[in-house]
Amino acid sequence: MPKRGYAYFRNQGESWITMTAKKFRCTLQNIQWLTPNVMEVTFHTHKKLKFQGGQFLSIFVPNLVTGKITKRAYSFSSDPNSSEIQLCVKYLPGGAGSEFLKSLRPGDTFFANAPYGHFVFQENHNPNACFISTSTGVAPFRSMVQSELFQENLPKNSLFLHGARTENEIIYPGFFEGLGFQTVNAVSRPSPNYAGFHGRVSDYLKQLPNAWIWHNTDFYICGSGEMTHDVCEILTGGHGVPPKNIFHENFSLKKKAA
């Protein structure tokens, strides 16, 4: 059974081997702003880092005044086979991880432990796949769908459902369409002329018909705890999706309504 701190890798397609997370020295290549508040952080590691699409790393974030280290988790957003590693990070003003990453310049080094997590593509499961994310929750999906594991086990039908507040906050527009996914960008505060879906990802799921492929689809959900909770309730309650077909990664704990 999976244990915390371990990552599981396929060994020549037959059995699983276990790998412990290790510490890596990383050198920043560049930071590119994908949207007004999301940065793509590109770097390389000094020794080979092996990870699976959907996994994450834990960055050592130093406090510049006290020197105290805190850690922040970020999902890999790049092709697991590439030595150029990418993260897709929401910039929260004043946030420890946000400010640290934003302060880095090309050539600067930082440290991270990796890999972690079990939010990976499930081969030999259901024939269809639905990927649901909000904001930077798209990161693990961008990595997962470029992995060999996914490319060698392509789902029959793939829906990518992504939520953003405004059109210009849609991350990686066109990327999933380019891979042949049916794509829906649900925008909760769209401009009046936005031609896509107006509303949240949960609104989109609620209005899908009962005859949709609910029972032979795997659902992968990533974003805030609140979103993953709401989407899980809609899938299991409203649409009768068995919980074993739902896989999720929470970027933050569910915030309870006051």
Ligand X SMILES: Cc1cc2nc3c(=O)[nH]c(=O)nc-3n(C[C@H](O)[C@H](O)[C@H](O)COP(=O)(O)OP(=O)(O)OC[C@H]3O[C@@H](n4cnc5c(N)ncnc54)[C@H](O)[C@@H]3O)c2cc1C
For residues 35 and 224, give the distance between their C-alpha atoms in angstroms, rounded to a whole number.
18
Token code pair at residue 4: 């915390």
Q: Are 53 and 140 in contact (CB under 8 A)?
A: yes
* Region from 46-54, 95-103, 170-178, 187-195 binding ligand X, contact rule CB under 6 A: 95-103
Give the nearest distance from C-beta 100 to ligand X in angstroms: 8
Give the nearest distance from C-beta 11 to ligand X in angstroms: 25
Does residue 203 sit in helix, strand or coil? helix
String of contacts with ligand X for each residue 141-180, x by CB under 6 A: ----------------------------------------
Site for ligand X in 5-24 (CB under 6 A): none
* Region from 25-33, 83-91, 189-197, 227-235 binding ligand X, contact rule CB under 6 A: 83-91
Token code pair at residue 21: 């997370």
* Region from 17-25, 67-75, 126-134, 237-245 binding ligand X, contact rule CB under 6 A: 67-75
Strand ordering across the sheet containing 22-35: 69-75, 56-62, 109-116, 22-35, 38-45, 85-90
Site for ligand X in 194-253 (CB under 6 A): 224, 249, 251-252
* Region from 93-101, 143-151, 176-184, 237-245 binding ligand X, contact rule CB under 6 A: 93-101
Q: What is the CA radius of gyration of the chain?
A: 18
Half-sphere exposure at residue 66, Cβ-oriented, CA atoms within 13 angstroms:
6
Q: Which residue is nearest to ligand X (CB)?
A: 95
If binding is defined by CB under 6 A, does position 89 make contact with ligand X?
Answer: yes
Torsion of CA 44, 49, 53, 59, to 10 degrees: -70
Q: Of residues 26, 88, 112, 114, which one binds ligand X by CB under 6 A?
A: 88
* Region from 22-30, 41-49, 73-81, 205-213 binding ligand X, contact rule CB under 6 A: 73-81
**How far is residue 16 from each of residues 9, 126, 202, measured CA to CA in Å?**
6, 20, 35
Q: Which residues bind ligand X (CB under 6 A)?
A: 56, 72-75, 87-90, 92, 94-98, 136, 139, 224, 249, 251-252
